[in-house]
Chains A and B, each alone.
Chain A
Amino acid sequence: MMEDALKPIYEALIEGDHRGVAAHVQAALDSGLEPEIILKDGMVAAMNEVGRLFEAGEFYVPEMLISARAMQNGLALLKPRLVQANVASAGKVVAGTVKGDLHDIGKNLVCMMLEGAAFEIIDLGSDVPAEKFVQAVKESGAQIVAMSALLTTTMPNMKETVAALEKAGLRRQVKVMVGGAPVTQAYAAEIGADGYAADASKAVAVARTLLST
């Protein structure tokens, strides 16, 4: 059974009502509910439902994005309390489209889905050189590096990034995940990546699996 205070958060999030989400999260915190419960049973549960509605063809990305932005509003209130309570996120992900490549829509959707599943995202944007991925992992202690490439001539930069992580002695501490239209499972294996996903929802499942192994 969902706590009474969580229901309006859940509903406002599915509606994409960002003001409502913030107000209800604040009310739940004021009523003494644990921030972790608000996050997992309220917000992540709602985003799972948004994901389900999307998979079922009921929602399109615009609706999903509006919910994701509403989630950001709620998270902004929760974050300081979560840090205080030492609650870990589902995982920290450094994401970006590789060097030379400006296609970023796929990567943005992957980030949005991961964020909805309570992963913490450090989005480096597009045209990201290997060194920048390395630096971001060093600075953030991320557990996953998520790379996207859409051009056949930028795919090899995924391999360069894997090599750079290796050279920096970071390869053992991070899992590498890749995707993008020309990328395949076989290519992921060839360059020594740990995971590949064909679309944004599968990316969430892959990220979860990578961190549980």
Chain B
Amino acid sequence: MTGFDRLAIDSLDQFLYGRCPKPVRLKNGMLIGGGQVYPELNFTLPDMIINQDSLPAVRGQYEQMITEAANRAVELGAPGLVVEFELLPDLTLQPEWGAEITQILREKLDLIQARHAIQVGLRVTPNDIREFARPPMLKSGRYVEDMYRSFDLCARAGADLLSIESTGGKEVHDDAILTGNLPLAVYALGVLASRDMRTLWENICSIAADHGVIPAGDTACGFANTAMVLAEQKFIPRVWAAVIRVLCVARSLVAYEAGAVGPSKDCAYEGPYLKAITGCPIAMEGAEAACAHLSPVGNIAKAVPDLWSNESVNNVRLLGAMAPTVSLEQLVYATRLMNTAASHGADAARQLRDWWVESDALLDPQAYVLQPAIVLELARTVIAEPTPYLRTRRSALAVLEVLRRAGVSGALRYSRHEQRWLDRLSAQADDLPEEEAALYALVREHLDSSKVRLQEYDITV
């Protein structure tokens, strides 16, 4: 296990997009985090069923998406392109199908690299199908076997990077989000999710090592992006979504402790924290991901990424072209501006970074906690704690303190309802015990055995 107890990037001046202390090199030469920001394109199917009969049509869709988008990347003179193939559940449930699509994408990417001056990379993200068993079975059973087989076959079929959007602990966290229960969220992330991440990522790293591919990283999408989307719909307070974002840091960090090296997955908006702590490259998404979901962090997310992504777009026709090609073009232009600024030196890169930050930071608490300076401050505090639980607890206390301070100084203006929640969450945080066992006693009544199997997390009660 790699231990992290201090920041790899400790100075705002060094905290930049496109570069990091531990860049990652792919087999075919592409260097991520070594000076350039590259577009990372993710695409998905339009509305259609996936089964044996529709497989030829599914293949055809992916062939069309990769061909048109990759050709456009070449026409636009993009220096590099990473494609993410985020499997759909049926493609993980039938691991051979996912591997077959991986191979199609690999061949097309290799072809354009051979013919043109473009560097390419392929991230493959099997699904966490373990939750098809209800309550989720995390360590054994058919779904677990198929999920790991999917990793294995996709690595063999040509993936450069392996990722997952893992969901251990989500079965408890969903309730915590919707009921505004901070101790329960801390338990779900700091205890349950973190324990699951350890086993899961040790296994993924071992599969990656077998095939000489890169274990890239996870995302707390099922936790913090669920909260972000709910806040966007005015279902939960924005301060609550901002707190949850920072609560996820310790959980996502576990992948790196187990051997992941980045680039983290695009929808992990906790990425800047991971980059500051580990020094590994990160993928991020924002304005160009509005095709997948709305967010209040469209520009600030561009502050420190190494890959810039559209999260996901389905293959439908728009006036310009098919949607994946449109997304690709948007990503190429966004990254071209970042790389152009950086080519004028570090001061110019910092200037652009600071404009991205300034344009969003004071408009929403979720943007506020992504400011590079705040990220460094909070990451430093969090990493000083020794265990995932204590780090998550510290995250809660520290981020609430930052948000309260922002309210008092007038940097952020909270509505009456947001302020009510800030006070309520602060009171809950103050009661978080230092002992994990004491936290368990606090949340026990909310752990519904029809939803969660604690033994899957090695917890015996």
Contacts and interface: CB of A to CB of B under 8 A. Distances in A.
**Are A and B part of the same complex?**
yes
Interface of A is mostly: loop
B456 interface: no
A210 interface: no
Interface string A57-98: 110111001100000000000000000000000000000000
Interface residues of B, number: 27
Interface string A148-188: 00011101110000000000000000000000001000010
A195 interface: no
B132 interface: yes
Contacts of B89: 100, 102, 151, 153
Interface in A113-154: 125, 127, 151-153
Interface string B226-256: 1000100111110000000000000000000
Given A60-B236, A105-B230, A152 B132 contact: no
Given A60-B234, A60-B417, A105-B230, A156 B47 contact: yes
B50 A153 contact: yes
Contacts of B180: 60, 62
B49 interface: yes
Residue of A104, A151, A153, A199 with highest tally of chain B CB at under 10 A: A153
A109 B47 contact: no
B134 interface: yes
A153 B179 contact: no
Q: Identify the interface centre among B47, B134, B174, B233: most chain A CB within 10 Å of its CB.
A: B47
Interface residues on A, range: 20 to 34
B434 interface: no
Contact of A153 (B90, B132, B230): B90
Contacts of A157: 49
A125 B134 CA distance: 10
A61 B46 contact: no
A153 B47 contact: yes
Given A102-B132, A153-B88, A61 B178 contact: yes
A60 B236 CA distance: 5
Contact of A152 (B46, B236, B417, B421): B46
B235 to A, nearest CB: 4
A58 B47 contact: no
Nearest to A157: B49
Interface string B76-88: 0000000000001
Contacts of A199: 233
Nearest to B176: A62
A105 to B, nearest CB: 6
Interface in B154-179: 174, 178-179
B131 interface: yes
Interchain residue pairs A-B with the least CB separation, the first 10: A62-B180, A152-B47, A156-B49, A61-B235, A155-B47, A153-B88, A62-B179, A152-B314, A60-B236, A153-B50
Interface of B: 44-50, 88-90, 131-132, 134, 174, 178-180, 226, 230, 233-237, 314, 417, 421
29 contacts: A57-B234, A58-B417, A60-B180, A60-B234, A60-B235, A60-B237, A61-B230, A61-B236, A62-B178, A62-B179, A62-B180, A105-B230, A127-B134, A151-B89, A152-B45, A152-B48, A153-B45, A153-B48, A153-B50, A153-B88, A153-B89, A153-B90, A155-B47, A156-B47, A156-B49, A157-B49, A182-B47, A187-B47, A199-B233
Interface of A: 57-58, 60-62, 65-66, 100, 102, 104-105, 108-109, 125, 127, 151-153, 155-157, 182, 187, 199
Given A60-B234, A108-B178, A151-B89, 5 more contacts: A62-B179, A102-B89, A152-B44, A153-B45, A199-B233
